[in-house]
Amino acid sequence: MTIPRKRVLSGMQPSGLMHLGNHLGALENWKSLQDQYECYFFVADWHALSTNYADTSRIREFSRELLIDWLAAGIDPKRSTVFIQSRIPEHAVLHLLLSMMTPISWLERNPTYKEKQEEIKEKDLSTYGFLGYPVLQAADILLYKPDFVPVGKDQLPHLELTRELARRFNDIYKTQVFPEPKEHLTKFPKVMGTDGRKMSKSYGNTINLSDAEPVVRQKLKTMVTDPARVRRNDPGNPDVCPVYDFHKIYSPQATQDQINKDCRTATIGCIDCKKSVADRIVERLTPVWDARGRLSKDSSYLNDIMTEGSNRAGEVAKATLHDVTEAMKI
């Protein structure tokens, strides 16, 4: 007798090109989950509207690029259901229904609500869509009744809101339609951007999976290092150097130890240190770039994956929404 696999669901916004932080933090984790779980991974294009509603010109492009990155990095559509959120209208319907019973105070206490408003000051985020996007996120999750949702610690408040909404719905309508998904905690490596801040599309400091090798090398050449190391013969401190953080991710331990020692004694300069880690990153990304090149030329294959994935996801979504409307008697 075959024991059904437990289900995992996760998504990603197409708000820009996928960068190394996304790759190392989420995608590598997703790739490993395929071996153990029934996986549903979706492009959250409606979520991109929460901050990019005024300029939607590149959302389709970014959605396609995101899909290419996923496949190139090892997401297997034969083992995972891969789909685009907007192709499943049940996401919007469940979002509407859940919003009718969501207390405003639950949304206002969301820690990332004010944080993002501070982070993205160039956009007007005083909108219902931005305030209410955790409800859409809850609908995305609950629609597929997953056992687990991969999250980092900073995302736990969002998942807890999803669980609270599941409990509230079940309590109001005296039902057990929604199970409460558990967190699948993921350890995200420290990935710094070229300016020394956290790598983020919002900061414009990213190294993207779609960047060609010369672009990657050039971005690394301009990356900030230990601010106290002004001259070549000044000793450095790898503990405060964003480039060394890349060594800790991409370089073998022996190389890390040697770089650490040579930096502190000024035996190696920043230029050579950057070239060393660039070689390692290029080595790791070359198979991804090769796969991206093939996938980018095969629009028919990409469309087939989206259609098949959306059909599979749609069946699950329709069944859940039927349970919801039956419980609500509407």
Residues classed as catalytic: 116, 198, 201
Residue type, 182: K
The structure tokens listed for 135 are 């409800």
Closest CA to 276 of 234, 225, 313, 228: 225
The structure tokens listed for 125 are 């985020």
Closest CA to 127 of 60, 191, 53: 53
The crossing angle, in degrees rounded to 10, of helices 45-52 and 59-73 is 130
The structure tokens listed for 54 are 């005024």
Radius of gyration (Cα) for the chain, nearest Å? 22
What are residue 151's DSSP bridge partners? 185
Torsion angle in degrees (nearest 10) through CA of 286, 287, 293, 298: -170
